[in-house]
Amino acid sequence: MTRSHPVRYLSAVFSSFVLIPAVGVSSDTLEEIIVTADFRERTVRELPASITVLTAEEFEQYTLQHFEELINVVPNLNWSGDGHRARYLQIRGVGELEQYQGAPNPSVGFLIDDIDFSGIGTVATLFDVQRIEVLRGPQGTRYGANALAGLVYMQSSMPTAAWGGRVRLTAGDDDTLSGGIAVGGPLTSDARLTFRASVHHYESNGFRDNAFLGRDDTNGRNETTVRGRLRWEPNDAWAVNFAALFSDIDDGYDAFAIDNSYTMLSDKPGSDAQESAGASLKISWFGLDRATLTSITAVADSDIEFSFDADWGNAGSWAPFVYDFVSLNDRERRTLSQEFRFVSTDSGRIFDGTTEWVIGVYAQNLEDDLLTKNRGDYFDPFSDFSFSLDETFGSEYEATNLAVFGQLDHALSVATRVSFGLRIERRRADYIDTAGLQAGPTETMSGGELTLSHAHSDTLSSFVSISKGYKAGGFNLGIVPDGRREFGEEQLWNIETGIKSSWLQNRLKASVSLFFNRRDNQQVRTSFQVVANDPASFVFFTDNAAKGKTLGFESDVRWFIGEVWELYAIVGLLDATFDEFVTPQVDLSGRDQAHAPGYTFAAGASYRHAGGFFARVDVSARDAFYFDVSHDQKSKANTLVNARVGFDAGGWTAQIWARNLFDRDYAVRGFFFGNEPPDFPNTLYTRFGDPRQLGVTFEKKF
């Protein structure tokens, strides 16, 4: 498919501003959304960065269960379906595609209530979540090495001084059933101690039929989430916020078929399960005259199982050949982090009261233990060739990160500000495995940003920034070419400019940004043939093999018409290429990077009548993209439609919904290799996203 020229999309976006007619609106002004992932709580318009903030009201109308259902409404956000749920994310074409080996160094940060789940975001269910913030571009000052591409920050519902809660029930095809309850309120008469607690369970069969086993649930979903929060304000000088999470994601994994269909033939279907327990404690002290001291402590423990039928078949499907392989991976991840930061108050500004400041320190200890078992047998009766595999591999990884950071925000005038941020991070890692490899790399990394912002009026602001992100190096396992055991730090430089505006008493909002980034020493997972003409001698490893560059555009327009209509249009354009990428096997210089679609688009309309009736339709589109760097196979462009109608009366809500209304097939992951005996021809195998699903949801808020 030929990619449409980006200028056409730019024209369409800017035309939307011209074609908007004058309308009457309510005199009430819509509230500004506050960003909580920043050092200071600022409105979206005040924050000089590209960010998408989704509130509970928005994503509850769009989603059913998990964060992956929101990906289509965030510009230039994509995911790799190398697992049941979306945990490998790509922002602006930057991010991992599959399970890492060796050091866990994710490019996209993922925090839930300040608990770090970067690279293991399977637990990102949505019941009783208050907001989601997606920051695009490197977050070198605020989050460091795990936010080279950006950050996803989820916040569960906060406790309130008034009693309240909700009950939700959902049923749908594919044997979908879910239910949840949340409740919260004051624990003391003066409401200085408040709480919020919720529990939710979701299950479905997973949209696949296993014809060999006669089951429809081998790819099923069984997901339980328990959340709890406490907020204590003993006096005006202290604020204590405690959050806890327990998540049991027990999903099956039976997603690939030889004929690229929804009918599986595996005799040993796998699992993609994650059980996580985590907590965070955020304490703010306002007792100092010149600054607020904030302490954030977070801890998490996750047990992760990822297993699959490696041959995707059974004895009958491969007869007369014996071809039976299975892979099992058990991982345990433990994290403990501590951050202290001082944030200046109004009286603490420096340089004659013109400059706000932040200074802080951060420490994290991460332990990651892995046990992998690969078993299998192969026998070709015609050539009398046989092969057996019985391999067990174990590794232990521990890393300690120490960082200092600071930020200055200087007012050049009443309307113009310049901001400078810097983070210096030291990482020491220790690794050992059963294959005899030991490694202990130590790195010092730095990143930050310089931003100039200007408020043209109360409703129009602009910014221009240059920022640097970084990602730690690592090491390759197994047999690798000489000199390729370790790979170094990657750096990403980003230049960006944007405009944020609102009209009609904040009922018409628009944000537009244009960016260019360059990746130096880009980490790329590639392959190398150790022995010429020996197809069994290919090894896969990560190398600093490339320079990359990306030019992109993002826009988000939202229009609230009176009290009944809301319209939105979101566009992301991306030209992400390898500037230099030469390996002993191939030269991909100038080729598009993997999982970096040329455009992402979402638009929708919602209608809500004063009498209680409401309706919503959402359309999303995504360009074709390369599945990987090891081959030139691509997905197909796709367009998906979601819809729902319902009635809201006195806190009761009933709605009928449809996801992927027109039942479109769309690929979220693709592999190109030989998996069919006896010749094992290279073939494209794809995993599809969810097909059409219909259902009903009932909810009572109190």
pLDDT of 5: 41
pLDDT at 584: 64
Q: pTM for the complete prediction?
A: 0.92
Written as one string, the DSSP assignment of 529-563 is ESSTT-GGGEEEEEEEEEEEEEEEEEEEEEEEETT
Say which residues have a Cβ less than 8 Å from residue 198's Cβ, sequence separation at least 6.
127, 128, 156, 157, 180, 181, 182, 183, 225, 226, 227, 228
Domains of the chain and any CATH numbers: 31-701 (2.40.170.20)
* Distance of alpha carbon 238 from the chain centroid: 33
The position carrying tokens 């007369």 is 320
* pLDDT tens digits, 171-228: 999 999 999 999 999 999 999 999 999 999 999 999 999 999 999 999 999 999 999 9
Q: Which residues does the chain have with pLDDT short of 70? A: 1-31, 527-539, 583-585
Closest by Cα among 73, 60, 174 to 644: 60
pLDDT score of 41 = 79
Cβ atoms of 139 and 108 closer than 8 Å: no
For 345, other C-beta atoms within 10 Å of its C-beta total: 14
The whole-angstrom distance between residue 269's C-alpha and the CA centroid of its chain comes to: 26
Alpha-helix runs per DSSP H in 425-566: none
SS3 state at 128: coil
- Measured CA distances, 506 to 45, 460, 559 (Å): 11, 11, 9
